[in-house]
Structure 1
Amino acid sequence: MSLPASLSELLEFVDFNQRSFYVSAASIAFNPTFWNIVARREYRTRFLTRAFGGNSQRACYALAITIFSLGLLRDFLYERALRDQPSHPALEGPLAQYAAYALLGVGNLFVISSTWRLGITGTFLGDYFGILMDDIVTGFPFNITNAPMYYGSTMSFLGSAILYGKPAGILLTLHVLIVYLVAIQFENPFTASIYAKRDKERAKADGKPYESKKEL
């Protein structure tokens, strides 16, 4: 079964001989893998909290700075990879550019608004440090999706790919989406178990029956 002609044509404009393409792909996969491994180790051993003299808040902020810095490096490597790739004329028209700006706008809105709702510790895995939120976040953008930061970031990647007119960027965006979907499958159940444990302990302390809640 052959690929659709349009997709086949787009793939012809991907230069798989460029080292920067694979470096970008590796960076995209590395970041969520890194923060999930570090955060889970922190949850089980408190090694970061101990390194910061028992101050979980400082430890969480240190991880936040590290994750944010790795994100900037990932974005730089992605932009460099796009510059090394050929452009496709179909992605350089005005409609494509309008779509690119719309994706970038909505994507950044999702990321910024979700960070605003959660705060620094809520955004950067504070629950793994024992810094838990009191209530479920249900306002925008969490009333649209339970992972607005991931989907917003994916939209921004796609918007950048179209803005640059690079089919390779679209392929890397698909890679981004797959990596994030895998990360969600690991993160959501684990985070839910953290809050379930907290709620169970609270109910036990209050002498009330425990009732499971929707994850944050």
Structure 2
Amino acid sequence: MAAILSQYKHLVDFDQKSLFLSAASIAFNPTFWNIVARREYHTRFLTRIFGGRSQTACYFLAGTIFSLGLVRDALYERALRHQPIHPALDQELIKYGAYGLVACGNILVLTSTWALGITGTFLGDYFGILQEKMVTGFPFNVSSAPMYHGSTLSFLGTALLYGRPAGLLLTLEVLLVYLVALKFEDPFTGEIYAKRDRERKAGKKSS
């Protein structure tokens, strides 16, 4: 294994601890918010901590997730600075494309947050704060998960801006982690709304 890693050291320096700290942060964040949100859904532990105020509890989780995201991004940029630059990525045309990717990524993230609001963006469904109807306009008409896709594009653009192959490797991890998260989140969120619809239908029949 050490021999294999040494062959690629000119691309990725696996001796740098910052690389593994960044990778750990990337994996930790969605794991954390999925575990906490599901526990909240089943036990309402955060809502109880905040005196039964589910919206306040959701805003607290939103602030926590946002802060963890800032830490993750800082660790990512630190890891890139410690990695070797590859000449093929250190070109003017690549830089222009990188700026475009970062811009597109930020547009997807910001517009999806605007469309959903804070509670809609940060797992308000798990707190019982449900959307009345599905948001189908931009950016959801171009991406099924604009927050995740936008974040991935931003990671990719940043890797290219720095010209570091290690950034491409970490971006691949970001994509894989988000794909796994969606496998858990989408069915669970879908069931939350399906349960709401069943209860509404049952209520109409009983009345």
**TM > 0.5 fold call:** yes
Alignment partner, residue 58 of structure 2: 60
User: Conserved in 2, the CA contact under 8 Å of 1:97 and 1:163?
Assistant: yes
User: What does the per-residue CA deviation read over 1:64-105, in whole Å, with 9 as the maximum and x for residues that have no partner?
Assistant: 000000000000000000000010111111110011001001
For the 8 Å contact 1:158–1:170, the answer to whether it is kept is: yes
SS of the residue 1:12 aligns to: coil
Moved over 4 A (4+): none
Give the Å deviation of 1:177: 0.3
- How many residues are matched? 200
Are residue 35 (structure 1) and residue 18 (structure 2) matched? no
Cα deviation for residue 11 of structure 1 reads 6.8
Q: Tell me the CA shift for residue 206 of structure 1.
A: 1.4
Check whether the contact 1:61–1:121 (CA below 8 A) recurs between aligned residues: yes
Instruction: Report the secondary structure of 2:88's partner residue.
Output: helix
Partners of 1:10 and 1:88 within 8 A in 2: no
Q: Percent same amino acid at aligned positions?
A: 69
User: What is the distance in 1 between the residues matched to 2:8 and 2:51?
Assistant: 53
Map residues 113-124 of structure 1 onto 2, 5 A cutoff: 113-124=111-122
State whether residues 54 and 128 of structure 2, in contact with CA within 8 Å, keep that contact through their aligned partners in structure 1.
yes
Q: Indicate the SS of the match to 1:131.
A: coil
Structure 2 counterpart of 1:195: 193
State the partner residue of 2:4: none
Aligned ranges for residues 1-216 of structure 1 at < 5 Å?
12-207=10-205
CA deviations 1:32-76 (Å, max 9, x no partner) are 000000000000000000000000000000000000000000000
Measure, in 2, the Cα distance between the counterparts of 1:207 and 1:108.
Answer: 45
Cα deviation, residue 164, structure 1: 0.5
User: Is the 1:10–1:167 contact (alpha carbons within 8 Å) kept by the matching residues of 2?
Assistant: no
Q: Distance in 1 between matches of 2:162 and 2:143?
A: 28
TM-score using structure 1 length: 0.90
> In 1, distance between residues paired with 2:119 and 2:138?
18
CA contact (8 A) 2:94 2:160 kept: yes
1:13 to partner: Cα distance: 1.3
Instruction: Provide structure 1 residue ranges, at least 5 long, that are not aligned to the other structure.
Output: 1-8, 209-216
Do the aligned residues in 1 keep the contact of 2:11 with 2:85 (CA within 8 Å)? Answer: yes
Output the TM-score relative to the length of structure 2.
0.94
AA aligned to 2:79 is: A
2:114 partner letter: W
Counterpart of 2:141 in 1: which secondary structure?
A: coil
Q: Distance in 2 between matches of 1:39 and 1:128?
A: 6
Question: Once superposed, what is the RMSD of the aligned Cα atoms?
Answer: 1.3
Gaps of 5+ in 2: 1-6
Equivalent residue number for residue 4 of structure 1: none
Q: CA deviation at 1:207?
A: 2.0
